[in-house]
Amino acid sequence: MFMLISIIYFLAIMLLSNFQLCIGACGIAEYEVEGECCPMCGPGYRVYRHCAEYTSTSCIPCIQSTFTDLPNGLVKCIQCTVCDSRQGLRTKTECTLTADTICEPREGFYCIDQHKHSCRAALEHSKCNPGQYIIQKGTADTDTVCGDCVGETYSDGSFTSCLSHTQCENSIGVVRWEKRPGTHSSDTECEEIQTVPIILGVLSGVLVIAVGVGSVVVLKKKRNIRRVVPN
């Protein structure tokens, strides 16, 4: 019997304590200060004077470059975020009395620290090395993705695909040969000679020689004729 009374007494104390806690808690749109439950200020406002027994909370608007985005019991508004260019950021949306600044990555950067709808830090997109090509260009949310060239192809790191090495082939009037072979980071280097001017030069030389030889032959014949003719 004594044990049963003790249990009932313990349960009664627990229920009474919980009831008092529930009664003493402030409502969802209130904040507690010195035992009083005061009405909160709305977004864009802060507390100027706390409520008292017979007066409600006194609120005033936030000043420039500060904000509150939720009902609150703050005596100071929150300072607006500054988008630091040294962190790879720029302003996407300016701060208002009811919303913080929204930052985004600068051109050529991607976000590495996203908080709600705003970026808090960004890094510059990676650059592909010579011998690599760009599989996927970087975005505001992702870094550049690079791939390696294979086979007889090359890229200087800025191409979106690897290019085939140039073949040093002869053509009409041109002789080409491989001066330096291609690598994964550079194209084949060819050297060429224009054969038409050479051929023309050779023909001109042959013609000059032929004309010279012909002239000598003609002169010799004339001399021989003069010697044969009697005086």
pLDDT digits (tens, 9 = 90+) for 20-30: 344 458 999 99
- Judge whether 28-79 and 132-195 match in fold: yes
- What integer pLDDT is reported at residue 214 of this predicted model? 61
CATH 2.60.40.4070, applies to 28-79: no
Say which CATH topology domain 132-195 has: Tumor Necrosis Factor Receptor, subunit A; domain 2 (2.10.50)
Residue reference for tokens 């001109």: 204
Amino acid identity, position 53: E
Helix (H, G, I), strand (E, B) or coil at 13: helix
State the average pLDDT for the chain. Answer: 84
Structure tokens at 135: 């599989």
Domain ranges for the chain: 28-79, 132-195
CA distance 173 to 156: 32
The string of pLDDT tens digits covering residues 72-118 is: 999 999 999 999 999 999 999 999 999 999 999 999 999 999 998 99
Beta-ladder partners of 96: 99
Q: Give residue 1's Cα distance to chain centre.
A: 78
CA distance 173 to 178: 17
Convert 196-227 to b/e letters by CB count within 10 Å (16 or more is b).
Answer: eeeeeeeeeeeeeeeeeeeeeeeeeeeeeeee
Amino acid identity, position 181: P
